[in-house]
A = this chain, B = another copy of it.
Amino acid sequence: MLMPRKPTYDRDALIAKAKDIFWRQGWAGTSLKDLERELKLKPGSFYAAFGSKDALYALTMESYTQEGVARLKALAEKLGPKEALKAQPRLVIEAPKTPAKACMLAKTYAELKAKDHDLADQAAHHMAEMKECFADLFRKAQDAGEIGAGHDPDRLAARYQSDILGLRLSAEREDVDALEIAADIASDIDRL
């Protein structure tokens, strides 16, 4: 039995790179040519590595969600649930090296839902995952007595996520002061 050459590329690094491109340009807005150029992969290697454009897109959404969840949980570990929820809006629009302000999952869902594309379902699933994280934090904040016990954490999470999605889209506009909106979202949490 023989073990010949291994790939010269770092698969995870390529996924991270592809995520940036897809996030910025969307699904239809990103061509194989774009990916081949940025990932420095010829078509044959690309398809050997990932199978298809859609398969790679799915991997990037997976990575995007996993990172988002991890970042939020780390923040809650550091600040506590309520302060994490208050800090998140500002952090998300101030993150310096992201390819876009708007949420990649929301962009994907909006672009592909009408086509009944599998990637739209996957984006929806990942958004539900994020929403459950928010609900967890609201629950923990309630348990800690940081916010009133009278609220439904799932409802708070849905509203919060909706606000964040709006905020992140607003943050791409030049005629909107997204920091003000982020501050207002944070102060809403103090009123719970």
Q: Which residue of B lies closest to A171 (CB)?
A: B162
Q: Which residue of B lies closest to A167 (CB)?
A: B162
Number of copies: 2
Q: Is the interface of A mostly helix, strand, loop or mixed?
A: helix
Interface size class of A (residues with CB under 8 A): 35 or more
Residues of B within 8 Å of A173, CB to CB, are 109, 124, 127-128
Instruction: Name the residue among A25, A26, A155, A188 with the largest chain B CB count within 10 angstroms.
Output: A26
Q: How far is the CA of A110 from the CA of B26 in the complex (A)?
A: 9
A175 within 8 A of B: yes
Q: How far is the CA of A164 from the CA of B113 in the complex (A)?
A: 19
* Contact assessment for B188 and A176 in the assembled complex, using a CB-CB cutoff below 8 Å: no
Q: How far is the CA of A107 from the CA of B102 in the complex (A)?
A: 11
Q: What is the interface of chain A, defined by CB distance below 8 A to chain B?
A: 24-26, 28-29, 100, 102, 106-107, 109-115, 124, 127-128, 131, 155, 158-159, 161-167, 169-170, 172-177, 180-181, 184, 188, 191
